[in-house]
A = this chain, B = another copy of it.
């Protein structure tokens, strides 16, 4: 099996699906000849031409709005938003239009659009090249939100996303775009949406993460293991709909839970996880669930490593919850 990084895995999935399905088109800023600022679409323009790989004017509302129209026509658009931080000009098209088209038309107009966008900090990107806005979309019925952490999931989940018929926010962990490498099967395979993955089995405490935070969580679990603490790490992979069985089963087993979230704490997706676990496994909990999150400030530049949850901070939380 070839070893790929996440960029290569995404690129591979796009090429594969565009060869397989003529309806798949890509559009966005600089996705054409340039292949995208992170090069995730490189080679597509050369292979599929300007009709299926479209450089657009600088307008996210236009990118998503026109993608919706293409989807209504029967195409399979996969627009790219250059950074998740720049998705807000398209917010109305996403939450009021894309998310509601199927429902508001009584099922007559499904709009299968898969919006790819890199998210997260750790690349010295400051306010506007670091954000993790998944909670906004998780709170929007009609959208699915997929957040892979590694190459094989990125490929399998992207293929599955393009082939299903609901709108998907596909958020890619830019901090580990190249750092996260792994074996990725050649050719066609899918990883179904809505299934979490236990990336490390453990008995004492459940540690939940998604996107780039999964790597920080694993680093923390390794450190904890060195202190003899046996942590179970869950990579949610899809946050809407999320895999409640796997999550609750793990917490019932361990009786303790820590959630690692890069986004600001208040009203982040971690809060939903805490609420759900408490609704379903309260009597199994031996300690309060702790959230290790980004702070409730805009994403800073110089102090980004102080801002972002790191392994030490997660280890601290694991200890506190275990010793509670």
Contact residues, A262-280 vs B (CB, 8 A)? 263-264, 266-272, 274-275, 278-279
Nearest-CB distance from A246 to chain B (Å)?
17
Q: Within 8 Å CB of A103, what residues of B?
A: 297-298
User: A298 is contacted by which of B92, B104, B291 (Cβ under 8 Å)?
Assistant: B104
Copies per complex?
Answer: 2
Instruction: Indicate if A164 sits at the interface (CB-CB under 8 A).
Output: no
Given A139-B135, A267-B135, A128:B96 Cβ within 8 A: yes
Query: Inside 8 A of A296's CB, which chain B residues have their CB?
Result: 141
| Interface bin, chain A | 35 or more
Question: Is residue A73 contacting chain B, with contact meaning CB distance below 8 A?
Answer: no
| Distance, CA A127 to CA B103, complexed state (A) | 10
Judge whether A311 is part of the interface by a CB distance below 8 angstroms.
Answer: no
The answer to whether A264 and B141 have CB atoms under 8 Å apart is yes
* Leading 7 A-B pairs by shortest Cβ distance: A88-B92, A274-B275, A91-B91, A139-B267, A282-B288, A271-B271, A271-B275
Which A positions have Cβ atoms within 8 angstroms of B? Answer: 61, 85, 88-89, 91-92, 95-96, 99-100, 103-104, 127-128, 135-136, 138-142, 240, 263-264, 266-272, 274-275, 278-279, 282, 285, 287-291, 295-298
